[in-house]
Structure 1
Amino acid sequence: MAEADRMSDAALRTLAVAYRPLAPGENSGAGESLEHALIFCRTIGMADPPRPEAAAAIGEAQRASVRFMMITGDHPHTAARIAAQLGIARPGTAALTGVQLDAMDAAAFAAAVQNTSVYARVAPAHKLRIVEALQADGNVVAMTGDGVNDAPALKTADIGVAMGITGTEVTKEAARMILADDNFATIVEVWRSRCCRTEPAPTQEMLMERSTTVALLYPGDRAMRDRADPRESRFVTLFDAFESAGITAEPAVYHDDFADEVAAQLRRVDGVLVWHNPIESGRRRDRLDTMLKEVAQRGVFVSSHPDAVLRLGTKDVLLDVRELPFGSDTVRVDSLDQLAAQLPGRLRAGARVLKQHRGCSGVGVWRVEAIRDSVQLRVRHAQRGSEEEVIGMPGLLQRMTPYFETTNGGHTIDQAWQPRLVEGMVRAYLIGDRVGGFGHQAVNALYPGQDGKSAPPAGPRLYYPADLPQFQYLRRMLETQWVELLRQRVGLPREHLPLLWDCDFMFGEPTPEEPERYVLCEINVSSVSPFPPSAVGPVVSAMAEALKDAGRR
């Protein structure tokens, strides 16, 4: 052992040589079963020095505040000596081993990663934990590797770099970049040329980028995530379309219970398309929104940024646009007392629709109509399966109470009822500021009963391409005026327009100046599904263009 330590201190990799004479009848091909009672011969030291240009490249990047770490399976003394030669650690600095890391709790592990730059005798799980700890501390992490055991860490790192000559196919598939010449200095040369812009970038033969990867995020349980089969997903047509476009698409099944696992997945992709309702199975999406903001800050393109969802995807947008051409009589109600005092006056002019601040699937949307010569109200909830009720103001206030809780927005929106709702509702599907298709639902959740009969159940929404003749006026207005007016009114930067979103419109009362009139009912940003088949191609093209603009393709 002393000889092995001496060689390791000299930055040599060590190999112990031993033998054993075979007994008569022993099978020389028996493999590991023969490896017992061996006679030690000696220890061999093998030099595998770093390239001369590596130390200079590391020093240049360190002067620009880039931190380097060595994570290896070598002997701790060998690792420490080579790290000192490269300038990664000071001479005499000890390496942390996998055994020592295993003995640490989470806090000690995080502290060790902050202060230690050399790790030896580590397993693949240690490499992955080190990368994740660095990311959790707010670092952007690049990881190099060549072996199969490097793949998990390369896949999780913000930039995984595989060796092009000695790297395995598994490692290359997991990486974002492939270093074709296996020269570490090339990485720094690329960094210098792209960040500092002092000289031309290296040729493509030296550094090759792997295929662009996007994640399709949607809610599910542990079993769904473990299976994660695109063939079983409701987005199978999108997976196929991305593949045809040369973009790797992978499922990112999400639940708060394994949010950290999903976060690690999103950090290594180029973009993420998100389908997750504001409230999913009784849970708000606060944790998801925090995660999406974090990965967006790291440069991952997010199809619907949480800030855009808040500006467009709540019922407050109806208040913001009430004076625009597609707006209507809309009031904000901040308390139950205000509702009780003011609603009767508005009901004298016609029915109203009360909407909670944020929701989906008709939950928290109520049609309220006064009954002539009565203090009673005709009330119907838009949630599927709800029946019309006749109740007094106290009953209405009781039903509205939850929507005034702080966690639910603390207020509601009161919008004038549109009588032409009986003609159906039009949904315009938008990809950025372009219409990708339409949906038309002839009978929706608040369709009123006729001639004393109960209201019919909501019917299906039928999907049409963007060039459907009957909605060309709506398309033209959206693409030439209304999207821009909306964006300016809510203060949303043009580059933050959602990649896929939709606007629900009711038919408004026509005027001589506007024979075709549409009134905005709501905007869906957080989970736009299903959508017309005609939107699939434009979604893929828009994602590819967004990644190109962000420098990730």
Structure 2
Amino acid sequence: MRVSVLQSIVIFEVEGGSDKFIDGHRRDTMPIVAALRAQGWNTEVLYYRPEWTEDLHDYVTANFSGYISRVNPGNIPGGEKGYFDLLTRLAEAGLVGMSTPAEMMAYGAKDALVKLNDTDLVPADTAAYYDVPSFRDTFPASLSYGERVLKQNRGSTGSGIWRVQLVDKELAAQIAPGTPLPLDTELKCTEAVDNHTEILQLGEFMDFCEQYIIGDNGMLVDMRFMPRIVEGEIRILLVGPHPVFVVHKKPAEGGDNFSATLFSGAKYTYDKPSAWQELVDMFAEARPVIAEKLGGDDIPLIWTADFMLDTAGDGSDTYVLGEINCSCVGFTSELDMGIQELVAREAIARVNARAGVPVA
């Protein structure tokens, strides 16, 4: 018996990359496939290549009613523009996109923080540099306010996220806020991917960072360093609107370590949402504001919100949003929690809702 197009979802991947297992797929892709098939839905995994774009478009529009993107933008051959154009065309053809490029850019781009810097979620002095001149004009003065964190837009697992501080602590204490620092000022720069540290002059570091700004969707976000990151980053993982679990990611101890990635030695503790109910409730309450600021309430299929602890004026704990991820959130370590089944049910519900199928 042929499965109808209505009950067909395609999963996109790209070939290669450090996120692949021995079968050539992400470790969490085939569990999603199995979960969808267990629900009686047809699914295939297709690889994107730029030269296959038209064939992919024609085949997918003829055979599927939704897609799930499991592609790390940094691994896309030829850059993300061609792939994003294909996904946009598929959504325009009527497929349910999970997630669409518009959703990825609205929620997942690092400058989402800048769009929220007039809320209680993000420090007001969070800024973004979209071109090299503005970066060179502004960043030397930004450092006069204290330690900063620079975040590239394209990175993952801490790549291109730098903690930047002055080597000369006396200078850091004496310089008047708003004073541009000389280009020969020595900086201690620590990258989140592995907590390695480099001593560079300000001019050298800005030369290096130009690579993050140049190119499609290039930008750098400049954010205040949050000292309590050493107590851990708190990540809420959601499937659609549903919080699934909260992971407390504590950086490796010692030195200038601040990275909360497994690659850097951070230790992860997985909790039920109820263990962080105050944070989960705060995020749920803030979500309409987030949607308004970011341009829409089309919630990604699989996404995360990362928070850091801060201290309010009265000494109580508060939470600062560090970033939202939704382009290709992995959950390999959590497959035993049944997240793949939740993903399958949410994806099916979205396709059925578009088709007007009544909820069972």
Q: What displacement does 1:233 show?
A: 5.0
Q: What displacement does 1:473 show?
A: 1.2
Q: Trace 1:441-460 onto structure 2 (pairs within 5 A).
A: 441-443=249-251, 449=255, 458-459=264-265
Q: What displacement does 1:552 show?
A: 7.0
Q: Which residue of 1 aligns with 2:330?
A: 529
Q: Can you list the C-alpha shifts for 1:313-363, whole angstroms capped at 9, x where unaligned?
A: 111101011122211130223554544444344333321011223332323
Q: Trace 1:423-462 onto structure 2 (pairs within 5 A).
A: 423-443=231-251, 449=255, 458-459=264-265, 462=268
Q: Which residue of 2 aligns with 1:394?
A: 203
Q: State the alpha-carbon separation in 2 of the partners of residues 340 and 246 from structure 1.
A: 56
Q: Can you list the C-alpha shifts for 1:469-510, whole angstroms capped at 9, x where unaligned?
A: 1x111111222x122110011111x3x221211112122224
**Tell me, what secondary structure is at the counterpart of 1:302?**
strand
Distance 1:253 1:440, change over 3 A: farther
TM-score, normalized by length of structure 1? 0.54
- Which of 354, 369, 376 is equivalent to 2:165? 369
- Tell me, yes or no, if structure 1 residue 346 matches structure 2 residue 142: yes
Paired AA for residue 246 in structure 1: G
Q: State the alpha-carbon separation in 1 of the partners of residues 83 and 269 from structure 2.
A: 30
Does the 8 Å contact 2:81/2:216 carry over to 1? no
Q: Which residue of 2 aligns with 1:418?
A: 226
Q: Which residue of 1 aligns with 2:179?
A: none
- Tell me, yes or no, if structure 1 residue 217 matches structure 2 residue 30: no
Paired AA for residue 213 in structure 2: F
- Tell me, yes or no, if structure 1 residue 472 matches structure 2 residue 277: yes
Q: Can you list the C-alpha shifts for 1:203-245, whole angstroms capped at 9, x where unaligned?
A: xxxxxxxx71212222226xxxxx9898x95333322322332
Paired AA for residue 151 in structure 2: K
Q: Which residue of 2 aligns with 1:484?
A: 288
Distance 1:303 1:450, change over 3 A: closer
Q: State the alpha-carbon separation in 2 of the partners of residues 282 and 368 from structure 1.
A: 31
Q: Can you list the C-alpha shifts for 1:51-78, whole angstroms capped at 9, x where unaligned?
A: xxxxxxxxxxxxxxxxxxxxxxxxxxxx
Q: Can you list the C-alpha shifts for 1:426-462, whole angstroms capped at 9, x where unaligned?
A: 2111222221222222117xx76169xxxx9712563
Does the 8 Å contact 1:217/1:273 carry over to 2? yes
| Bigger RCO of structures 1 and 2 (CA < 8 A, at least 6 apart) | 2
- Tell me, yes or no, if structure 1 residue 254 matches structure 2 residue 62: no
Paired AA for residue 475 in structure 1: V
Q: Which residue of 2 aligns with 1:507?
A: 309
Q: State the alpha-carbon separation in 1 of the partners of residues 283 and 256 from structure 2.
A: 33
Q: State the alpha-carbon separation in 2 of the partners of residues 215 and 460 from structure 1.
A: 34
Q: State the alpha-carbon separation in 2 of the partners of residues 286 and 318 from structure 1.
A: 22
Does the 8 Å contact 1:464/1:534 carry over to 2? no
Q: Which residue of 1 aligns with 2:119?
A: 324
Paired AA for residue 245 in structure 1: Q
Distance 1:256 1:361, change over 3 A: farther
**Tell me, what secondary structure is at the counterpart of 1:315?**
coil
**Percent sequence identity over aligned pairs:** 22
Structure 1 window deviating more from structure 2 (398-407 vs 422-431): it is: 398-407
Does the 8 Å contact 1:440/1:462 carry over to 2? yes
Distance 1:354 1:233, change over 3 A: closer
- Which of 341, 351, 360 is equivalent to 1:547? 351
Q: Which residue of 1 aligns with 2:213?
A: 404
Paired AA for residue 234 in structure 2: V
Paired AA for residue 306 in structure 1: P
Gaps of 5+ in 2: 17-21, 172-184
Q: Can you list the C-alpha shifts for 1:503-528, whole angstroms capped at 9, x where unaligned?
A: 1212222443x833221111111101
Distance 1:457 1:293, change over 3 A: closer
- Which of 74, 79, 82 is equivalent to 1:284? 79
Q: Which residue of 1 aligns with 2:57?
A: 263
Q: Can you list the C-alpha shifts for 1:152-182, whole angstroms capped at 9, x where unaligned?
A: xxxxxxxxxxxxxxxxxxxx52x637xxxxx
Q: State the alpha-carbon separation in 2 of the partners of residues 300 and 257 from structure 1.
A: 21
Q: State the alpha-carbon separation in 2 of the partners of residues 334 and 450 from structure 1.
A: 28
Q: State the alpha-carbon separation in 2 of the partners of residues 449 and 264 from structure 1.
A: 54
- Which of 511, 517, 520 is equivalent to 2:321? 520
**Tell me, what secondary structure is at the counterpart of 2:331?**
coil
Distance 1:425 1:290, change over 3 A: same
Provide the alpha-carbon RMSD of the alignment.
Answer: 3.0
**Tell me, what secondary structure is at the counterpart of 1:276?**
coil
Larger Rg: 1
Q: State the alpha-carbon separation in 2 of the partners of residues 398 and 282 from structure 1.
A: 26
Paired AA for residue 300 in structure 2: P
In the TM superposition, structure 1's runs of 4+ consecutive aligned residues that sit over 6 Å from their partners are 227-230
Paired AA for residue 354 in structure 1: L
Does the 8 Å contact 1:427/1:440 carry over to 2? yes
Q: Trace 1:163-178 onto structure 2 (pairs within 5 A).
A: 172-173=1-2, 176=4
Q: State the alpha-carbon separation in 2 of the partners of residues 465 and 536 from structure 1.
A: 18
Distance 1:240 1:461, change over 3 A: farther
Distance 1:332 1:229, change over 3 A: closer
Paired AA for residue 364 in structure 1: G
Q: Which residue of 2 aligns with 1:78?
A: none
- Which of 239, 243, 266 is equivalent to 2:33? 239
**Total equivalences in the alignment:** 329
Distance 1:220 1:401, change over 3 A: same
Does the 8 Å contact 1:215/1:273 carry over to 2? yes
Distance 1:529 1:344, change over 3 A: same
Q: Which residue of 2 aligns with 1:41?
A: none
Paired AA for residue 351 in structure 1: E
Q: What displacement does 1:419 show?
A: 0.2
Q: Trace 1:181-196 onto structure 2 (pairs within 5 A).
A: none
TM-score, normalized by length of structure 2? 0.81
**Tell me, what secondary structure is at the counterpart of 1:497?**
coil
